[in-house]
Amino acid sequence: MDNADYLDVALRLANADLDDLSGLRAALHDEPWWSSRATSSDVTSLRAVAATIRATLDAAVRGDGEAVLASVNGLLAAHPPRPRVSGHGSGGWHIHVADPDASPATEAAAASAWGLAQAIVRHPLSRWGHCAAEGCGNYYLDSSTNQAKRFCSPRCANRVHVAAFRSRHRG
C-alpha cells in the first residue's frame, strides 16, 4: 500500500455502514487480508474510528484547520502507525503500518490515521468535500484539476443530473 491507499481506507471507513460484519467486510474489500479475518470486535472498534474520521472530514469541509489538526493528531496518538516493510519473495515490497499479527481493526485504524495525516498535509482544506447528492453522506477528496467536484462518485453525479434533466423536461 502507499499513502493514497491508506487515505482510501480512511474514506471507505468514514463512508461505510458499520452496523455489522458484512458492512465492514464490504468497506475492506480491497484488502482481503483484513476483510477475511475481520470479526465483530473489529466492527465495534472501527465504529469509533469511523466516527472520528467523519468528524475530521466535517471539520475539513468547514475549513476548520485547528479542529482537523487536533482530530488527526488524536487519531495518530490513539492508533499509531508502526511501519514495517513486507515483501513477497524477492520483490513486491511495500509498507504496512501495523505488526504482522495485528487485528484488522488495529491495522485499518493505523492505516486510516496515517493516510488522513498524509492527505491533509498534501491537500488544502478546500479540496475536501461532502457529496451534494440528496441522501448521500459520503466524503471525498477532490483531486480534479479545476476543483469542481461536488459528488463522491459518478453514480451520485449521474443520479442528480438525470433527475435534474427529467425535472426540466416534464410537461
Residues 6 or more apart whose Cβ sits within 8 Å of residue 137 = 15, 130, 131
- What are the backbone angles phi and psi of residue 138, rounded to the nearest 5°? -75, 150
Q: What is the pLDDT of residues 25-84, one digit of tens each?
A: 999 998 888 999 999 999 999 999 999 999 999 999 999 999 999 999 999 999 999 998
Residue with the larger pLDDT of the pair 96 and 22: 22
User: CA 7, CA 124: separation in Å to the nearest integer?
Assistant: 15
Exposure of 54 by Cβ count < 10 A (0-12 exposed, 13-18 middle, 19+ buried)? middle
Taking only the tens place, the pLDDT of each residue in 89-101 is 667 788 888 887 8
Whole-prediction pTM value?
Answer: 0.89
- Quick: pLDDT tens for 45-58: 999 999 999 999 99
Q: Domains in the chain, ordered, with CATH?
A: 3-124 (1.10.3300.10)
